[in-house]
Amino acid sequence: MKHEDKIKGAWKIFLFTEVASLVVVIPYGWMMVKAFTTPEGAFTLSNWSFLYQETPFFRGLVLPVIWPSVITSLIFASTTALLQIGVTIPTAYTISRMQFRGRVQLTKLMIILDAFPTVALLIGFFHVLNTIGLMNTYAGVVFVKVGMSLPGSIWLMKGFFDQVPWDIEWAAMVDGASRFTTFRKIIIAAVKPGSAVILVNSFLSGWAEYMLINLFIYSNGSTVSTFIGLMLDAEGKTAVPYGVMAAASLLYVLPVILLFIVSQKTLLKVSQGGSKQL
């Protein structure tokens, strides 16, 4: 770096950032150490026994094998992400590119719905799921999860579509491409970073979902988040050693880390912000 490019006092910003990051680094470091040590501090792999067998603990808790919960979480998160991106992209494109009656009002309504507290909608979701027969099913939870997230994701995706120059679309049509072909082969490629943001965020939100599964599935949903919830007794006290909970938590965050590693190049290309076009 050239001398004139150096920021005066940059070391202070760097030092502050490093100190502030300790708030995140220290808990994760503690979790990793606890996952592979006994309460006495010796190395052990017994904390990971839930990977291959049912494990009894104190207070009468028997922890099941975690893999069925992992598979359920992956299916739930993947279904949620694919359904949300499948609805978000064509809807956002329509609002961004086409003129129709009520378009401005619909756009403003999405902002209101995104800001509306989701807890206030739970009673309505109970009624809707009971009416259509999806109560106590994962399909019903996916329906609620996607419905709650759509306004925000559509508004965000509309901003990416608004940033794509009209010239690209017109040039493709002049060359003989249909509106659908232009959308599928050109426009979608131009908003790939935005699509990745929606897809990754939707997957991570579905993977981490706990409240909706416990509310709408009476038979205690079998996901990784509810699996970790089994480690607490009725009084909220830990019913397993901290090492076991740390091991399960480490397994819980592993897909998040892997997904970021795989998608970071695409996510870091995101430079388009919200749109002012209405």
Does any domain span residue 125? yes
Q: What is the pLDDT of residues 15-67, one digit of tens each?
A: 888 788 888 888 888 889 999 998 888 999 999 998 998 888 766 678 889 99
How many separate domains does the chain show?
Answer: 1
15 falls within a domain: no
- Cα dihedral 232→233→235→236 (10° resolution): 0
CB atoms within 10 A of CB 213: 21
Domain carrying residue 136: 63-267
- Has residue 186 been placed in a domain? yes
Output phi, psi for 37, to 5 deg. -135, 155
48 belongs to a structural domain: no
Per-residue pLDDT reduced to its tens digit, 66-123: 999 999 999 999 999 999 999 999 999 999 888 888 888 888 888 888 887 777 788 8
| 209-212-218-219 Cα dihedral, nearest 10 degrees | -10
The model's pLDDT over 122-150, given as tens digits with 9 standing for 90+, comes to 888 888 999 998 888 899 999 999 988 99
Note whether residue 185 is domain-resident: yes
Does 92 map to a domain?
yes
Q: Is the dihedral of CA 176, 179, 184, 188 positive or negative?
A: positive
What CATH number does the domain containing 225 carry?
A: 1.10.3720.10
Q: What is the pTM assigned to this prediction?
A: 0.84
Instruction: Give domain status of residue 13, yes or no.
Output: no
Instruction: Establish if 46 belongs to a structural domain.
Output: no
Report the phi/psi class of residue 8: left, alpha or beta, with left for phi > 0 and alpha for psi in -120 to 50.
Answer: beta
